Amino acid sequence: MAVNRFYFITLTFFVGVLGYLSYLILKPFLSPIAWAIVLSLVFYPVYAFLLRYIKLRAVASFITLGIILIIILGPFSYLSILLVKELKHISDYMEGGRFETLQSALGHPVMKAMVDRITSLFNITEAEMDKAIIDGISNLGKDLIGRITKGMGDVVTVALNFIFMAFAIFFLLKDGTEFLKKIRDYMPFSEEQKDRLATQIRDIIISTVYGGVVVAIVQGLIAGLTFYILEIPSPVVWGMATSIASFIPLIGAFAIWGPATVYLFLHGAVLKGIALAIIGVFGISLIDNVLKPIIIGGRTKMPILAIFFSVLGGIKLFGLIGLVMGPLVLAIFVSVVEIFRNIETNENRGIS
């Protein structure tokens, strides 16, 4: 008895230490690995379709990987070029100190009424108010540029993570079935419980990705229509850019309509700037927080409020992959608790 207990404690200690060391080794690559798992699952039907005709797993996996890379790199490369160009234009405009159009815009009846109310309320002169507005917009624009540029991350790190992700996708598609079978064999659950857990994980991942795509399309349509009504050049292009930008963590669609709002204010289009800011906050960006939890919750049967906070918490903890990881971790936790509850219920029935 004592020998068995010593053996169990020793085994647990070594498993714990080796498990922790394995985590430290894989920690720098967790994000690309997680994205590789998500994309492999989403595009597995494409791989399975190709495998029916090609018969070679490595070739089918390589072609599927090529399709994934084209879908990802194409739109995001275009968005990056477009965004950098526009940000440089706004930055040059502000650095040149060309605020004549903004100063003339402050004479607009709507702005004049707002300025008069504020000056009388805070007992400051109109000149001081004008200077505060100009300085505020200038600082806001520069801060916005800094945040977006920082959000893009280090180019080398992003490129390396992308390469690691592509490498992982190839082998997950090629050998994923055998790998999953080994994981199932190690799980201490019945086959029915394993199937239920696997279905829950698959539903969460697929509904999160598809939900993100649907939200991106809706945001792009609203943004494009708004830009068209406000007579902003190339509304279709900016609508597409908004759809792509919706996948950027924390910033999202704001990366497009935010600079556009600053641009309108700087060029004296005050009413259009106010309209775009209102629609951007309560129309374009709010859709992400409302529609996505509904789509995910509808398929997974999880409460919308739980999905909402798990998405926000996941993004804060894991970054962009948190869109999937947040709801996924919560769903797995709920499923495991339910499995143990059913086991306990069955044991109580057996005793009685």
Q: pLDDT at position 101, please?
A: 52
Q: pLDDT at position 85, please?
A: 67
Residue type, 38: V
* pLDDT in single tens digits along all 352 residues of the chain: 555 777 778 888 888 888 888 888 888 888 888 888 888 888 888 898 998 888 888 899 999 999 988 888 877 777 667 666 666 665 565 555 555 555 555 555 655 666 566 666 666 665 665 566 556 655 555 555 555 555 555 567 778 888 898 999 998 888 888 888 888 887 777 777 788 788 878 887 787 778 788 888 888 899 889 888 888 877 877 888 888 777 776 677 887 888 788 777 777 777 888 888 888 888 888 887 777 777 777 666 677 777 778 877 887 787 777 777 888 888 788 777 777 777 666 655 555 5
> What six digits make up the tokens of 341?
């509850």
| Helix locations, the chain, DSSP H | 2-26, 30-42, 44-54, 57-95, 100-105, 109-122, 126-151, 155-186, 191-229, 235-245, 254-266, 270-279, 286-300, 304-318, 322-351
Q: pLDDT at position 53, please?
A: 86
Domain residue ranges in the chain: 29-345
Give the C-alpha separation, 6 to 169, whole Å: 42
Residue type, 236: V
What residues have CB less than 8 Å from 228, skipping those under 6 apart? 235
Environment class of residue 65 by beta-carbon count within 10 Å: exposed (0-12), middle (13-18) or buried (19+)?
buried
Cβ distance 80 to 162 under 8 Å?
A: no
Reference 322, options 336, 335, 305, 309; nearest CA is 309
Q: pLDDT at position 3, please?
A: 55
Q: pLDDT at position 309, please?
A: 81
Residue type, 215: V
Q: pLDDT at position 63, please?
A: 92
